[in-house]
Amino acid sequence: MANTEDQGMEIHTNPIEKLRAQCLARGSAGIKGLARVFHIMDDDKSRSLDLAEFVKGLSSAGITLGSREAQQIFSLCDKNSSGTMDFEEFLEALRPPMSAARKQIIVDAFHKLDKTGAGVVSVEDLHGVYDGRTHPKYQSGEWTEEQVFRAFLDSFDSPSDKDGKITAEEFLNYYSGVSASIDSDDYFVAMMKRAWKL
């Protein structure tokens, strides 16, 4: 008979669920932080990693998985058995499932922010979309509007690599973590509409 501790661990016997739980335990930044680590490790910009790079990335991100679990996740995401794991396929498997309505409202919000249409949101995109003058630190004279914009962008970035830009992937990863904490699709969609004035 299993003890209580073992029974509690049975909740996450699926390695991808265990990895997802560790990421979500870090809040909305968990998945995007892991994605950022993998982007940094992708020296050749192929948007894929081999097993050794994947295991190193997990360790760098402070994720605790056994080598067998890491291998299982890697095999699941290496759909064509090429010996490499595609970032997009990995992140798709890692993100908590979201309804089509949630995904669409996230895409709509990103497109509203991406005024230049470059696929990346920068400080330039925020002018006219986000009013930094209402921020308390701007009103107190502590920050300029530019500093408010940068702090806003940094909230979507990984703590270890703040580049002042938000990609569609980073935006989706951020809201995937937010989505995981909201049960109702209607509430999530309404919250996004209010937040982004959609």
CATH number assigned to the domain comprising residue 83: 1.10.238.10
Q: For 145-172, how does the pLDDT look when each residue is reduced to its tens digit (9 = 90+)?
A: 889 888 888 888 765 567 888 888 888 8
Domain boundary among 68, 94, 120: 94
Q: What's the rounded Cα separation, in Å, for the pair 118 and 104?
A: 19
pLDDT of residue 12: 57
On whether the CB atoms of residues 143 and 135 are closer than 8 A, the answer is: yes
Reported as a single tens digit per residue, the pLDDT across 38-66 is 888 787 778 888 898 889 888 888 888 88
Q: Which of 5-9, 83-87, 178-182 has the highest mean pLDDT?
A: 83-87
Query: How much is the CA Rg of the chain, to the nearest whole Å?
Result: 19
Same domain, 73 and 160: no
SS3 195: helix
87 and 35 in contact (C-beta within 8 Å)? yes
DSSP string, 95-123: SPP--HHHHHHHHHHHHHH-TT-SSEE-H
Q: What is the pLDDT of residue 188?
A: 93
Single residue among 94, 122, 156 that ends a domain in this structure: 94
In this prediction, residue 10 carries a pLDDT of: 40
Question: pLDDT tier at 2 (50, 70, 90 boundaries)?
Answer: very low
Q: pLDDT: is 35 or 52 the higher one?
A: 52
Q: Is residue 10 part of a domain?
A: no
Domain match, 78 and 124 both:
no
Last residue of a domain, one of 64, 94, 124: 94
pLDDT in tens, 60-115: 888 888 889 999 999 988 888 889 988 877 877 887 788 999 999 999 999 999 98
Number of structural domains in the chain: 2
Whether 4 maps to a domain, the answer reads no
The verdict on 47 and 81 lying in the same domain is: yes
* Residue 124 burial by Cβ neighbours in a 10 Å radius (0-12, 13-18, 19+): exposed
Is 166 in a helix, a strand, or coil? strand
Give residue 9's pLDDT band: very low, low, confident or very high (50, 70, 90). Answer: very low
Query: Mind listing the pLDDT tens digit for each residue in 121-143?
Result: 988 888 878 888 888 899 999 99
Specify the pLDDT at position 28: 63
**57, 83: one domain:** yes
Domain that holds residue 114: 100-196
Q: What is the pLDDT of residue 72?
A: 93
Is residue 4 pLDDT above 70, yes or no? no
- Angle at alpha carbon of residue 174, lines to 61 and 90, rounded to 5°: 55
Position 20 confidence tier, pLDDT thresholds 50, 70, 90:
confident
For the cut 50, the answer to whether the pLDDT of residue 3 exceeds it is no
